[in-house]
Structure 1
Amino acid sequence: MSNEAQTNSDTSATVQRDSAGRLRHLITLEGLSREELTALLDLAQFYVRSPGELPARDQTLTGHTVANLFFEPSTRTRVSFELAAHRLGADVVNLDMQTSSRVKGETVLDTIYTLQAMHADILIMRDAEPGLPAYVAGFVAPNVCILNAGEAHLSHPTQGLLDALTIRQHKPDFSQLKVLIAGDITHSRVARSDLQALTTLGAGEIRIAAPDDLMPRPGEFANARRFSNIDEAIAGVDVVMALRIQRERMSSAHIVDEASYHRAFGITAERLRKANPDAIVMHPGPMNRDVEIASDVADGPQSVIQQQVTNGVAVRMAVLATIARNVQARRQLT
């Protein structure tokens, strides 16, 4: 891990717990124990429903107000947090950050203080600035919780959880797993949170594959085997996670040619045959079809991409419910 990433990770892991060691915020998966991760996954599985069934609901968040503050574009994460909060009985506010007072020059903290004054007590944040969720968590009122919905290139904890849940549903013995994460690793907060979750849950082998200019710096992903050849990396794996090229985080000098990338690194049906026959294919979305993943693979029988989306709502319900219960437990002791 780079010095910048390590500093941010250490700060986030510390600030997200209350004085009793309970999770008050969820900013990173770094520092969570296997027992904590497993408890979140077990609760998420409780909330999972099969296609065609009515969604799970309860009133855990009755009386709470959840505010979605997405300073970067999002579809899956924002909508799934909104649905999760509604299904737990919360009031939900979605801020259009393109027309918010932040555009007019208001600071993030002033935006937070305004929401606090309106009794919003669970704030879900996505932002391109590293360290912002942990920074904000240090200033909020004691009853307010911060949930990280995507922080720069560093962290996306609920995506890491939903990916772990999806894998567990198909491959419950993590110790036997060989997992490949392939694509734009250097800019991927998903890859970092997935690595944290998989490492804590005891995954047998984690591989990362990327062109040299999309491979993270030395010191990062220390628990993963590095490959510059996708055909070697995919051989014999149980899970294939494809990542999109994140042009929005690249300078114009480093923009990748899509056709060349697909030839060299795209997950195609031919390449997938090198993995184990029962390997599953994943993608956090949004997909660039026929760039990092071929359409026939994304829609094929080994794909669990739509299951990831379904699991996203269940995981975010589990996180919201857990955080709310921890806050209630703290109130009862004070």
Structure 2
Amino acid sequence: MDLANSAIPSAQQNTATGRGVKPARRRTAAVAALTTTLAGAATFLAAPAAHAALTTHCVGTAGAVTVPNNLVVPAGESCDLTGTVINGDVTVFEGSDLLLQDVTINGSVTVRENGFLDAAGSSVSGSVTLANAFGTYAYDSELSGATATDSGFFYSFDSDITGDVATQNSEVLVESSWVEGSLSSEGSLLTDVYDSVVTGDFRVSGAEQGSVLCSTEVDGDAAFVGNSQILQVGAAQPYGGCGTNVFGGGLSFEGNSADGYVSNNIVRGDLSCTDNDPAPRGTDNRVRGESLGQCAELAPVQASARTMTLATQSRDADITERIETRSAEGAQAAQEAGPANIGS
């Protein structure tokens, strides 16, 4: 059965969570104006002429120009682009910032140690790879898969990802997005997904603060293994406003020490719970397969002082603050560097 045509509205249409749409990255008027202006002294010099056809260095700001080759942001620098086309791969070196607005990258992006990628309204035809990076924020963008290892965060909002998302030891937040592939997270601080579609399998393991999965469609199997603190899957608490999830395959919980809340889910495979301490709680799950183990007879959810306290907290507040601060600092640094003569 096509889950997208099921009786439950798709996650892209579900507004039950009440989570507000995040604004696009804000820039000061001076920065916005400067990014579309190439007047003034350039602070950029490309690589030596013998290598100019291979790599372009970007320090500062640029607008609607075309870079015919690979582009790098040197270590400790900032590059702020608007309407730019890059016909090559991009590398964000150590401690540098790359801010994109309506940019097209016909290649891959690699973000290195403490590097930051902020992509708004942009597209990347190749993969996005984070290695010990500060983080990546994709807003209203198109990516071709993402891999994050030992990085601060991967945050996708209102974006399309035509490939797998695979992270290790990296915080994950996906909202109002479409993942055309699987989503796996291992050893994160938290992995939360809201109002989204994952066409492949979904797996969260070893998350220190657990996982929240709300108003989302997973077409494959979903598994939560060895997570701590909180697992909220479709339930109305401890964080409020969580709508129905639809699972095309099975849904399983194994070896979690988290407080588990599993309610209002449609599971087309089996709902299986084993070796969880405490056992998950929940109601109103519609299971087409079998309910097994600790999920054979789920105890009802009971409100507690702890859940009431959690309900007043925001799971994404820390990531959002980090993004806003780093983006503002990067934009200011690029403005101060001046226009970058990076293309034609």
TM-score, with length taken from structure 1? 0.28
Q: Pick the structure with greater CA Rg.
A: 2
Higher helix share: 1
Larger RCO (CA within 8 A; separation ≥ 6): 1
